[in-house]
Structure 1
């Protein structure tokens, strides 16, 4: 077979992801596909994967992709004639502690919300399904009957065969040396056998992907780590079709395979590998044994499955797998190069994700956008610094084990910390801040007080900082608090066409007077919310766009790719150079008047106004807006003046009740006020109408906006059948806390799920937000007439559900 000179899509890498993408492209009718594998199919990581096929993931769409993978594997052998070794033998997830059992039960509730079967089972029922396991020291387990296992190499070959049957061409022993890029777009590859021009290129290079992408100015943060398992000699007492058993409290998993037992682990202190690069000739290779490293796992396993003490080890295996800084894979079109896609960094879930990944990315390539909201794994969530090799090396020691660690609420990574800091960092530490991290940025979660230390003690109930957070919330409500929000993403958009460009990109009308601030959303062509922002007009030709920290790379890419080629407008990321302090609470007006000498009254400084003010000897921009539901201002200043501004505020606030507040308090306060968070409560599948943000849309503004036609049709259709609602648990005391994906029941049926939650200290209730769906529309009448419950850890609790926020629904405090 001769290498073609041109094609529609070139896929780099012949592991399970690359073969799945090729297979699914042909299913969509894109048959002119070339897959290039430097050695042989599966020879990197795929061939030695454990082949576990579980379905429950952290979010609905991740679960949908995993569910589809199982469905695909069910019929793939019949379609292609290639054996896959797939069997649906179920899985058991074991809990040794009450906390782990609560985690699993919350997962079971979440599974029901996604339509998955998940049953809480007793130790005795575990023994029935896994007779060789010791169960007298466990609390219980979750049984998921539709999970299973597969032979990774065989299923990859089946997808490769299916791709060939659909017209794709697969070339082994063909190394891609570089990607062709012209005018910022991928247009083909150069291989060791010649050049191939292509409309789109996909990097599926596994653990080679980071270095290969970096050579083209593209950031794919991943690092290989050693992954260990053993395979025993045949065990006569081992049942056939034994369920996969996960004992996360012992970092281990067990899989029956042809009468033998495979024992694998995700140990807490992993061993990064390939830091100086992966050898080019690495092919079906394994790494040196390290029995000392594996021995603690084996010792616990012998206690769990006593028959192992009398069974020999046939194979001790150590092979590399790639991990990302947040334990989620990398998928989608790269922000640096258009037409260049990636599917890599699978964190040991590549097999179970492969079908869904292939289907999703194939649709993404065809349509130019993701087929569903995939923010969890979208490559644009990453920041370029995260490809730093030392950062990746150190983080990888933790991320492998984090897969089986407790998934506590507010869980923080401990490695590779301190990368990004605001100018106030050391001052905040001195004030007792317990720092949390997001995309490398250090942010205060809460401030120590009394006997509450500046550290998080994890729990599914109120954690040790609960009272400290309450004090911060109440101080914000009664006096005045200062929040370091420097991590918020900030862009400057300037040029003679800046207004017209932003007005096309934003759903709201940003063509306002200089010194006005507009809250709005950037929408996609389907009407979904790509970004939730404020836009401040600085001059006739200059604007400042403020967004969330996690959207920094994504939003910059979105803005730049939606600038017309002939537009005179430039987008600059000014986040690092423009720290921001939020001064919030009824005492904020007096404090700012004291440090500036300016008039901050309603008449002189109404809500939505933004202007430069003096602060001490410095200059700052004060914008009257809030994310906590109290009177307040955001202060932006240049980094060189930031500490002076901070010190001036603290000095003047000393006798005015000024206190520090952290991000746990922000989350509580914004939940009471119903303020949405992009990535949780709103995203690219949610329209402003469904999200209750129609007030931020200028439906009929001159020139229109992206997604306008969809919103006009939705508005004309009347009451939406999907709607974001506010949820309050009607329980005594603090009650169970809501976090995400808890099912919302309406009249005995699951009708929606929680998107985010927190305890509201101003109204003293456990709160959440979430979407309800109803064929007749979600309106006040439905909410008033229905019986609502929220399921938490397999128990239902009565709830009040409404459209308006539970705190200050008329925003009287915000506009006081």
Structure 2
């Protein structure tokens, strides 16, 4: 056995095998794959092998698309038939809301170049007469996907990997990982058969690996324990049944092609043909999580007992949809573990806190994702960045607050939500509330309808008693829409208060702090008492993190970044500090997120509210432009609460962020609420704030800002100081301007706004996509932000946006279409010499 390798891939299922293959294909000629049992002996062997395109995630859609195209090339390369049946995928809809979902999904497919077509019930019946259609509204059809034999495609990738020099070793279990400073020492134990079980022997080996990738599937919890990290990948039972031959189907196939994979999303199942019969795969409620603390040594390629009562409803609905199946008996059944994550998407990318350790865990649709996962992860490892933004799949999207109990319950929820209506405003209820700011109960009593951001409860909007958030959801303007309009108008016309406690906050100080931040970020560092917006780049020159930097003292900084990306931002920041500290001097880094609450107060009357409670020798001038200018920071006192106040507002109005000791939050909330009553202050949620920031063309991380575009492509040159050297600068400049971020006003349908995933057209040519969308109270129409070719980015350019299968007129407008001169932000209430 080799003992020194460039990359060690742990796990011999479809995902691990694909990663090993693609690393070799990308040019790494010293790759080893380890499997503790036999290749495909995990979930791969009992997977149904479906290859569905349908996914609301832009990144995941690209991954699935690459898999489907890649699998079609394997036989030519390896001589092994991967068993790909390109029968297509027919996803049926029983309601108008489901058709709306398909139309919204289709915009994601369109931006990724995935082919699809819509069918009427009559067209479905004409093509597939065995399917009952009188209660359908329609369907979406993908002609280029289908299903594949999981074992065959894995073995084909394994052969392709070996042909490219990958060494594959079976029956070796990893028992320890140790980072030496420049490589991993991985301790292995030889596994042997004993009484039908696989048990450790006395034979051990140490592999020295520069990089390690874990693709351990159902064994992810053991991997987490060995690495000393948290991995919220826990299996959930998934069962499917195989019927005896259906005479009607057998007769149909004598002169007709195979049915596509059939999906009745409203009935929560998929069905495909299998040797004259049918395979039914339901996604029922109450499927339990398994192996929360690790897979028993006795569990190998095993299954759980079938629970037919749990899937009775889905079985009966199959009979309804395919009446000929009613008299057909059951031939076989499978109930095995399939790994899930709390949001159903895999954990793919660098492991938190560890060097050269990569995770590829939590694949609930592992066969569909395996090929693309190998391709894009290899890009990330070999080239430093993938061509698509992988942040939405990053393992660090869950922080250290996440527990085993949380992961297990949320994974069960993710399983039974596979076929729910995936509204863009969807909020899933399991394990909530969990992380709450002190003012949570007060806001709830005032009608807050909460969303969850990194575990935090954050108001999305406020509604009157008796309002049901779940029933208000829609793919169009839901019942919440008018409440968000009223909140947005309150900030534009009066004053609103927003709970922004979920912001990520770090304190960076020490002798090396200034030099480090100057290297780490793109903008000039602010002077003491001032703030700057800035970006940290990837090594490839694209945007990795957005920061607001507050300079408290000469070598003392307070960094604020997005609440949804806490662990993601922190890991990158801390790893960069560890890299530069030996060169620059001591750098202290402290996560202070849970020490500070944040209220954002904004609107023309925000100064009036604060003047009523500020404690200052001259309260009438304490908040004036002269004493407290825009983009500055001051320590102030509001009543008895010390506040780190920042003169900035994400809504584009006069306003302040009020960072306060979190233990004083309820006191401050009550104080502000009482003072605000005299000025009509309204509590405001995240949805109105999101609309308002688009009126100002404020880019948001995770939408406009990400690892697939540079700050210059985001059209933010004012936050990039090209006169200094910073991390990623040369790569950023080498990329040039491939596309450009613009703001568009859209004459869309009367009952809907874009969600930020729609295709942008120039005439009949697709030329870009929206990254954000919503409604503008200032202009009384839909608004969106997105990327287009640079030659179409000028204000006044007429374009179109795809919504609900139609193209709607849109116009590129100047940046910050609302108040482009920032007059409202800078407004003062006293003369400058007052």
TM superposition score category, shorter chain reference: over 0.9
Q: Is the 8 A contact 1:184 1:337 kept in 2?
A: no
Choose which of 736, 748, 773 in structure 1 pairs with 2:789: 773
CA contact (8 A) 1:456 1:465 kept: no
Unaligned runs of 5+ in 2: 191-203, 828-834
Displacement, 1:306?
A: 0.6
Pick the aligned partner of 2:408 from 370, 393, 412. Answer: 393
State the distance in 2 between where 1:762 and 1:185 align. Answer: 56
Q: Which piece of structure 1 moves more, 30-39 or 11-20?
A: 30-39
Is structure 2 residue 165 aligned with structure 1 residue 167?
yes
1:206-237 Cα deviation digits (max 9, x unpaired): 02112321332122111111101111112343
Partner of 1:355: 371
The aligned runs of 1:511-522 (5 Å cut-off) are 512-522=526-536
Q: What is the CA distance between 1:156 and its match in structure 2? A: 0.6
Q: Distance in 1 between matches of 2:184 and 2:500?
A: 37
Q: Within 2, Cα distance between the matches of 1:602 and 1:532?
A: 26
| Structure 1 partner of 2:693 | 670
Q: Where in structure 1 are there 5+ consecutive unaligned residues?
A: none
Change in Cα spacing, 1:144 to 1:731, as seen in structure 2 (3 Å) is closer
**Could you tell me whether the CA contact under 8 Å between 1:214 and 1:220 is conserved in 2?**
no
Q: State the secondary structure of the residue aligned to 1:141.
A: strand
Number of equivalenced pairs: 799
Judged with a 3 Å threshold, the aligned counterparts in structure 2 of structure 1 residues 196 and 371 are, in CA distance, closer, same or farther, namely farther
Partner in structure 2 of residue 808 of structure 1: 819
Q: Note the C-alpha offset of 1:713.
A: 5.5
Q: TM-score, normalised by structure 2?
A: 0.93
Contact kept in structure 2, 1:506 and 1:522, CA below 8 Å:
yes
Give the alignment of 1:117-516 within 5 angstroms: 117-183=115-181, 186-192=184-190, 193-238=204-249, 239=253, 240-347=257-364, 349-386=365-402, 388-449=403-464, 452=467, 457-510=472-525, 512-516=526-530
Residue in structure 2 matching 1:539, options 553, 576, 580: 553
Whole-Å Cα distance in 2 between the matches of residues 453 and 82 of structure 1? 55
Aligned partners of 2:33 and 2:439: how far apart in 1? 50
Aligned match of 1:4 in 2, 5, 26?
A: 2
3-state DSSP of counterpart to 1:237: helix
> Greater shift after overlay, 8-17 or 63-72?
63-72
Instruction: Determine which of 25, 28, 32 is the counterpart of 1:27.
Output: 25
Task: For 2:11 and 2:773, locate their aligned partners in 1 and report how far apart those are by CA, in whole Å.
Answer: 41
Counterparts in 2 of 1:453 and 1:205: CA distance versus 1, 3 Å: closer
Relative to 1, partners in 2 of residues 1:42 and 1:721: Cα closer, same or farther, differing over 3 Å? Answer: closer
Are the aligned partners of 2:450 and 2:459 in contact in 1 as well (CA < 8 Å)? yes
CA distance in 2, matches of 1:492, 1:187: 34
Equivalent residue runs for 1:739-778 within 5 Å:
739-773=755-789, 777-778=791-792
> In structure 2, how many angstroms separate the alpha carbons of the residues matched to 1:711 and 1:284?
48
What whole-Å deviation, never above 9, does each CA across 1:707-730 have from its counterpart, x for those lacking one? Answer: 22345557xx7xx45111112222
**Structure 1 SS opposite 2:108:** helix
Q: 2: CA distance between counterparts of 1:391 and 1:713?
A: 44
CA 1:726–1:586: 2 relative to 1, 3 Å: same
Deviation of 1:181 after TM superposition, in Å, equals 2.3
CA deviation vs aligned residue, 1:723-761 (integer Å, no higher than 9, x gap): 1111222247x4421002211111221111111111122
Contact in 2 for aligned 1:130/1:243 (Cα 8 Å): no
SS in 2 for 1:477: helix
How far apart are residue 552 of structure 1 and its match? 0.9
User: Aligned residue for 2:196?
Assistant: none
- Look up the SS of the partner of 2:392 in the other structure: coil
- What is the correspondence of 1:600-639 to structure 2 with a 5 Å cutoff? 600-639=623-662
Native 8 Å contact 1:203 1:341 kept in 2: yes
Change (3 A) 1:454 1:204: closer
Note the alpha carbon deviations across 1:181-212, whole angstroms, 9 max, x for none. 23496443433431111111111110211232
Retained in 1: the 8 A contact 2:221–2:292? no
Cα drift, residue 449 of structure 1: 2.9
Distance in 2 of aligned mates of 1:282 and 1:55? 32
RMSD: 1.8
SS at match of 1:175: strand
Does 1:554 pair with 2:552? Answer: no
Equivalent position of 1:700 in the other structure: 723
Question: How many Å separate the matches in 2 of 1:474 and 1:435?
Answer: 20
C-alpha deviations, 1:501-545, integer Å up to 9, x for none?
0011110011x3211000111112332111111000011111011
Q: Does 1:728 align with 2:745?
A: yes
Distance 1:418 1:432 in 2: 15
Aligned to 2:62: 64
CA contact (8 A) 1:232 1:260 kept: yes
Residues 106-121 of structure 1 mapped to structure 2, 5 A cutoff: 106-121=104-119
For 2:413 and 2:466, locate their aligned partners in 1 and report how far apart those are by CA, in whole Å. Answer: 30
CA distance in 2, matches of 1:453, 1:806: 34
